[in-house]
Structure 1
Amino acid sequence: MSVYQNYIKAFVDFIESQSDLFSAQDWSELNQLASDVPNDDEAIANEIENWLESESRSHILQAYEERLEALDSSSKIDGNGNLGPGKSKSPTPPDRPSESSKEMVENAIKKNSPLLNPPPTRETQN
């Protein structure tokens, strides 16, 4: 996995595990980012980095960097051919293409955004 893919994977994992750290404004901007995300891994990683560098997101940046560090330390390549994080195998079957970085970012934002997935109201719960 390239360094850019690691950045993207850490960001996707971060969105999925700590979505409560994001404000409504953050989600609005992330939804815009998802609609404009490029296809190139390096460009996606740069977009994420630029978005995170806003001073109002320093707490998000810090938590993201911790997630990235954890991912980096768990994905070291060993001599036994285990290449995935935590010595895992790829979840993608060999005969299928894996989800692109662009799709990963778009799907994580769409799936976790409260703006696109509002919580159920009392009427829909009954």
Structure 2
Amino acid sequence: MQLNHEPPDYAYSLRAADGRSARVNDLVLGQSFFLTPDQLVAEWPVRQASGLQLADIEAILALNPALIVLGTGDRQVFPPAAVMAACLSRGIGLEVMNNPAAARTFNILAGEGRKVAAAFILEG
């Protein structure tokens, strides 16, 4: 049996993520960031999910995704209720998980052609 590697039909793919770093395509990132299948914002000034504020996610909301996958480091940490409510009031889903799970979920949803954004909090 012959196996063929087919590259994704979108620009950015997560190859690895944990609480301290992530690899997007071949770029290793050491600070928090967010991305969509076609856009990467490599500098996002967020350091912890528990302190996340609406102003921190405005740029992500402006991308008008159907779903935001929020990676909160090594552990799943829910953001304040006001952040979750801001997403839901706009009809945008918010899924919170640890970074490795968020990376896998982003890649699956991007591969399905879904309008997804993912934000990753790194301890840097």
Class of the TM-score when normalised by the shorter of the 2 chains: under 0.3
Q: Rg: which structure is higher?
A: 1
Kindly indicate which of the two structures has a greater share of residues assigned to strand: 2
